[in-house]
Amino acid sequence: MKHLLTLEQLSPTEINEIITLASEYKKELKKGIPHKKNLNGKTLGMIFEKSSSRTRVSFEVGMYQLGGYALFLSSRDTQLGRGESIKDSARVFGRYLDGIMIRTFKQSDVEDLAKYSGISIINGLTDYCHPCQVLADLMTIREHKGSFDGLKVCYIGDGNNMANSIIVGALKTGMRVSVATPKGYEPHKHIIEFANSFDGMFELTHDTVSAAKNADVIFTDVWSSMGMEDEAELRKKAFKSFCVNKELLDVANPECMVQHCLPAHKGEEITEEVFEKHAGEIFDEAENRLHAQKAVLYLTMKD
């Protein structure tokens, strides 16, 4: 692995390798065993055109625990914020840093960083996909369920970057996937084409009950992601019946997990009751961002 740009680029073996290494890091930390300083002397630049709590903290702490250094770069603090091209910035950063994690809007910006920088690039989030989050999600599923074999994953809500990456990650690890969105809010066309190539493993519907039936894991996300604030009221009307609630859990398997990438808008995409009942799983998911991030950092930036 030189880069992590999308989950599509990874093989099932590579995904499982990341999860296994992440689990080993987590066990070490729980036992108080320091990690080997495999990234000693390495520097990660972190470009944030979209703000975040979990992404920033997990990458900074992860680099520290592996012996490296993380440098926070907001768009306001760099020439990117004044119009310098990604191509030119990439060629500069590539001479200073060993890797870049970027959280931004356009997937093409991540691709251009990888093309021109000459160093490892990690996609911390784009409008197209969220691979780091879903690696942590997959880690959490395997942690709670023991394996991916025979599981059905359900996603309820906006066909956004989270939906795109959940579809790819779940299918690549052998799980069946059912997605329910309002009409007009389906996942990316390319992702649907990819998913339909897994014969009989993918369902796209506008019926939440049908999607959740016999699910082993239910995912959801906020109705309005960052950059969609102007659409918030329109989206509330479109998504009003796309809430993960007790009635939806009643049609899922009895031991069904609930996952949410956070922050949650309780009372919108998920009820307070369901969130609190499954809070242990949801905050395991949040914690696992740290360990999955460390695995990605090591596998992309090691010598």
Q: Could you state, in order of their start, the residue ranges of all structural domains in the chain?
A: 12-130+288-301, 131-286
Asked about 261 being catalytic, the answer comes back as yes
pLDDT at 82: 65
Let me know if domain 12-130+288-301 sits in CATH 3.40.50.1370. Answer: yes
pLDDT at 101: 98
Cα–Cα distance for residue pair 252/218, rounded to 1 Å: 8
Please check whether the two domains, 12-130+288-301 and 131-286, share a CATH topology.
Answer: yes
pLDDT at 77: 73
Q: What is the pTM of this model?
A: 0.96
pLDDT at 81: 63
pLDDT at 78: 76
Question: What CATH superfamily is the domain 131-286?
Answer: Aspartate/ornithine carbamoyltransferase (3.40.50.1370)
Give the 3-state secondary structure percentages of the chain, helix then strand then coil, rounded to 5.
50, 15, 35
Catalytic residue, candidates 133, 216, 235, 259: 133
Asked about 293 being catalytic, the answer comes back as no
CA separation, residue 58 to residues 55, 72, 88, 281, 292 (Å): 5, 12, 28, 18, 9
Q: Identify the segments of the chain with pLDDT beneath 50.
A: none
Asked about 133 being catalytic, the answer comes back as yes
Asked about 130 being catalytic, the answer comes back as yes
Is 123:6 a contact under the CB 8 Å cutoff? yes
Nearest-Å Rg of the Cα atoms of the chain is 19
Is 244:181 a contact under the CB 8 Å cutoff? no
Detail the DSSP E strand segments found in the chain.
43-48, 69-74, 99-103, 120-125, 152-156, 176-180, 202-205, 217-220, 257-260
DSSP per-residue letters across 178-196? EEE--TT-PPPHHHHHHHH
Kindly compute the dihedral angle of the four CA atoms of residues 281, 284, 289, 291, in this order, to the nearest 10 degrees.
-140
Asked about 235 being catalytic, the answer comes back as no
Give the model confidence (pLDDT) of 123-161 as tens digits: 999 999 999 999 999 999 999 999 999 999 999 999 999
Catalytic residue, candidates 103, 142, 188, 291: 103
Catalytic residue, candidates 261, 284, 291, 293: 261
Burial of residue 200 (CB within 10 Å: 0-12, 13-18, 19+) is exposed
Catalytic residue, candidates 3, 54, 130, 278: 130
Catalytic residue, candidates 221, 243, 259, 291: 221
